[in-house]
Amino acid sequence: LSFVTETAAYDISALAQYANEIGSPAEEGILAEFLELDRPPFVRGKEKALLGVRKAQVKLAAYYLMTGQERRARAIAEDMHDEPRERLLKIQHQLSAVESKEFWEIIDRGRNFEYMPPAQRACLKTFFEWLNVEAEAK
């Protein structure tokens, strides 16, 4: 059921972004709950689900950076400061590689959860620098 957890994470990320866009006072609470989604019992022993949740959180952080909201992006980075370097590198690599909105499978949503517009994707560099993770040379 890791896909369910990942899907929920991307939905909550989109909800937090929308709440931010409309200036909803609920955004702070949504973000706080979202940062709890990577903890047991939601992802205990489920690396794929944890990666999905963390990628959704990084995607939201990149949105915050793109829109000049460093405080919110840093809150997400602080939540990730104890993540293993290998996991962070994997997340960085996977998110940086997605350049198309299209998804290779037929799904109800018809979009790639990990896609970010180029300006948002460019913010990944700053986010991962905060975590002392630099992109590896290809």
Q: Where are the alpha helices (DSSP H) in 1-138?
A: 2-22, 27-34, 47-66, 70-79, 85-97, 118-122, 124-130
Helix (H, G, I), strand (E, B) or coil at 17: helix
pLDDT digits (tens, 9 = 90+) for 79-102: 999 999 999 999 999 999 988 765
81-85 long-range contacts, Cβ below 8 Å, gap at least 24?
81/131, 83/54, 83/131, 85/133
pLDDT band for position 138 (cuts 50, 70, 90): very low
Domain range list for the chain: 2-130
Helix (H, G, I), strand (E, B) or coil at 44: coil
Token duo for residue 1:
């059921």
Alpha-carbon distance of 74 to 83, in angstroms, equals 15
- The tally of CA atoms less than 13 A away on the side-chain side of residue 55 is 28
pLDDT digits (tens, 9 = 90+) for 105-123: 555 555 678 899 999 999 9
